[in-house]
Structure 1
Amino acid sequence: MTEREYEILQLIMLNPMISQNEIADLLGISRSGVAAHIFNLTKKGYIEGRGYIIKDSDFISVIGGINIDIQGISNDPLIKNNSNPGTISYFLGGAGRNISLGLTKLEVANYFISVHGDDLNGEKFIQDSQKHGMNIQYVKQLPGERTSTYLYIDSPDGSRTVGIDDMKIYEHINPEFLREKIEIINSSRLCIIDTNLSKEAIDWLYTNCKVPIFVKTVSENKNYKLLSNLNAINTLVTTPAELNGIISELTEEDLSLIDSAKYLVSNGVENIIVFCPKNGLYFENATESYHLKSDKVTPVNNNGASASLCSAIIWAILKKMTWKDALKYAFSSAVLSIESQYSINEELSPQSLEQKKVSLFK
């Protein structure tokens, strides 16, 4: 690919419906020159069809949420029914968005499938995606809708006290919406979803998605959506609290974390990863189990760690690593997130991931 072809491909990835005249104006070249470059990109197999469908030999489908995260951290232990001095910060987040960004930083081609509103927060998402080179050609802007917002309050030690989400917009990620994307989903190596999706959407994907499905849970009160077909889940990434919520829906037994993971594996989930910053990472499948933990962590922000972990797991799987090695990179990616003020560490890359893994597991 020539440098000019690369520039044109980047513009198409950001806006697959961009016209040749618009590309010409942005790059200061003739429309006929743009047409020639697009012809060459098509001939070389980088794009195909109408709407400039980008082709990748190994790509991932990510279906999930885009949020504006509003984080409040108190300076001292919280006092109920009282004003608590602290810090309020605004971040772009959402499990799906964070996973897609993490994959992009790890140089894994991926298509992010989601929706956002035509408000200021939606524009912030578009601008941030362009800044980071994310492929958002399958993200739909919905007129008259508000972009999803997540408001939460953390104690000084980083533990989540309460959170409120305004995520009604995800009702638009329904079977009709997904049906339009199923060809690209089933052309990917695997599809990762988060539980911001409705039960109807998840059940539809269980039936119609033909590639391995990875699931990232997002909150205890949304886990019931997963239970209709555990056999459809290749890999489940969750937290101890969310795992406990899943188990309570399935059995009245009081199970430990380890027994809970074994229970899900015996009932159809192929692989399960349970992570929390305090207790580390626990992995279980039918033949292997691992527990990773490190004291070499300086927590700054717990939000986004599991999403960063998901990105690194997929990166490692594509590199055909063993689970033992893949989990070390996944844990390292989560730590990089925890040590950053952002959901996905701005410095995340294959190089920084390797360095963190060496420092944690030498």
Structure 2
Amino acid sequence: MTEREREILSLILNNPMISQNEIADLLGISRSGVAAHIFNLTKKGYIEGRGYIIKESDFVSIIGGINMDILGISLDSLILNNSNPGKISFALGGAGRNISLGLTKLNVPNYFISVHGDDLNGDKFKQDSQKNGMNIQYVKELPNERTSTYLYIDDQKGNRAVGIDDMDIYEKINSEFLKDKIDIINNSRYCIIDTNLTTEAIDWIYEHCKVPIFVKTVSENKNYKLLSQLNKVNTLITTPNELKGIIRVLTDSELSLNKSLDLLLNNGVGNILVYSPDDGLYFKNNEELFHIHKKSDKAINKTGASASLTSALVWALTKNFTWKDSLHYAYAAAAISIESPFPISEDLSTDTLVTTHTLLFG
């Protein structure tokens, strides 16, 4: 989809009965030019029928975080209360932003809904989004606010030692902020949220969202927020440690992986993925159970692997692949991610995804 086609599709999403003359006036182009773009959008399958009916499978909505990630990696075993030689890097992240970027790289149209501050990191996010072709028309810049920042330290093996997040800005993603975006959300194929959102925001989405909800967990101390209506969660993507945290809140005890998955399924979750680069991918729903684990010797960065996995999973599901095939592609995307220094690999594309999938699974 070209940038002009994205603009026209956005106007149609907001007003499916808008005329070609009105679109031409708003964009400052000719009516015949609008007609040509609409013809192309119809030919490509993005819209169909009279009244510019948007196809159900056309796009995905994502509601979640934008972070500036500051990563310190020790060159040796970490020594507490001491200076540790290592490397420090800065990268844009946030589960929501990473998933949106991953979907964009896989040519899945998506609308990212979030907030950032009017600071240097907010400017970097806007510039990076423009460079990567992300649709951020529903991302709001908030005056006198700081863009969310996540500072963390990993040991030389890439294991997280400690992290500190400055994410008060997400309190601005509230019911008032979300209510005028509900039509976009409910016209999407799937709505993906992350647990950076407040309890209020997640509960509001549970009550008002009419499409399947995918939840991507982000931190052990935030995931309790998704528990109020687990029956509204179509698909949960989490990690082994975060799963243990969820189960402790539900039962005040620790359960085996299989019993943990069964507990969530019994509470109404439709599908559950548990992933880590070390343990592989576990999946369970009421009909199927899978475990995929193929060790990589090239892993250099575990941050963003779950977001890449989520993006590829949704890509595959929008193509109506089976769960088994979708999980294989999701695992392939995670494998691409962990071999990149960035949360979402610059090399991620449908071509590299298919190639990696073939190498891993034949």
Query: Structure 2 length as normaliser, TM-score?
Result: 0.89
Give, in angstroms, the shift of residue 35 of structure 1: 5.6
Give the 3 Å change call, closer, same or farther, for CA 135–55 of structure 1 in structure 2. Answer: farther
Q: Distance in 2 between matches of 1:110 and 1:55?
A: 13
Matched residue of 1:140: which SS?
strand
Query: Partner letter of residue 213 of structure 1?
Result: I
Residue 204 of structure 2 aligns with an amino acid whose one-letter code is W
The amino acid that maps onto 2:33 is H
CA drift at 1:144 = 0.8
* Structure 1: 4+ residue segments shifted above 6 A: 11-16, 19-23, 43-48
Q: Deviations over 1:203-226 (max 9, x none)?
A: 000010000000000000001101
1:248 corresponding residue in structure 2 = 248
Sequence identity percentage: 60
Report the CA distance shift for 1:164/1:20 in structure 2 as closer, same or farther (over 3 A).
farther
How much has 1:11 moved relative to structure 2? 6.5
- CA gap 1:333/1:34 in 2 versus in 1, 3 angstroms: same
In the TM superposition, residue 9 of structure 1 has moved relative to its aligned partner by 3.2
Gaps of 5+ in 2: 13-22
Q: CA deviation at 1:360?
A: 1.5
* C-alpha distance 20-68 of structure 1, shift in aligned 2 (>3 A): farther
Instruction: Tell me the C-alpha RMSD between the 2 structures.
Output: 2.5
Q: Which moved more, 1:212-221 or 1:316-325?
A: 316-325
Q: Deviations over 1:273-320 (max 9, x none)?
A: 000110100001011100000123411100000000000110110111
CA contact under 8 A between 2:5 and 2:41: conserved in structure 1? no
* Alignment correspondent of 1:339: 339
Q: In the alignment, what sits opposite 2:136? A: 136
Written as runs of structure 1 = structure 2, the 5 A alignment for 1:200-279 is 200-279=200-279
Unaligned runs of 5+ in 1: 24-30
Partner of 2:316 in structure 1? 316
- Of 5, 8, 12, the match for 1:9: 5
Q: Is the partner of 1:214 in helix, strand or coil?
A: strand
The one-letter code sitting in structure 2 at the alignment partner of 1:308 is S
The 1:40–1:278 alpha-carbon spacing in structure 2 relative to 1, beyond 3 Å, is same
Q: In the alignment, what sits opposite 2:288?
A: 288
Q: Which string of whole-angstrom CA distances, capped at 9 and with x for unpartnered residues, describes residues 213-257 of structure 1?
A: 000000000011011110000000000110000000111343111
Give the match for residue 118 of structure 1. 118
- Which stretch of the first structure deviates more once superposed, 213-222 or 323-332? 323-332
C-alpha displacement of 1:351: 1.1
- Over residues 112-156 of structure 1, what are the superposed CA-to-partner deviations in whole Å (9 max), with x where a residue is unaligned? 000011111111111111111111111111111111100000000
Secondary structure, aligned partner of 1:354: helix
Equivalents in 2 of 1:111, 1:128: separation in Å? Answer: 16
Query: Alignment length, in residue pairs?
Result: 345
Show the 5 A alignment for 1:25-40.
31=28, 33-34=29-30, 36-38=32-34, 40=36
Q: Letter of the aligned partner of 2:91 in structure 1?
A: F
Separation in 2, partners of 1:64, 1:333: 20
* Distance of 1:242 and 1:76 partners within structure 2: 26
Structure-2 separation of matches of 1:15 and 1:210: 22
The match for 2:330 is: 330
SS at match of 1:127: helix
Q: Which residue of 2 aligns with 1:107?
A: 107
Instruction: Map residues 150-169 of structure 1 onto 2, 5 A cutoff.
Output: 150-169=150-169
- For 2:152, the aligned partner's letter is Y
Residue matched to 1:67: 67
Corresponding position of 1:93: 93
Conserved? CA contact 1:152–1:160, under 8 Å: yes
Deviations 1:159-189 (A, max 9, x none): 0000001111101100111101000000001
- Structure 2 CA distance, aligned partners of 1:34 and 1:8? 13
Are the structure 2 counterparts of residues 156 and 12 from structure 1 closer, same or farther at C-alpha, using a change threshold of 3 Å? farther
Asked if 2 retains the 8 angstrom alpha-carbon contact of 1:231 and 1:270, the reply is yes
For the Cα contact (< 8 Å) 1:13–1:135, is it kept in 2?
no
In the alignment, the residues of structure 2 paired with residue 210 and residue 141 of structure 1 have an alpha-carbon distance, to the nearest angstrom, of: 27
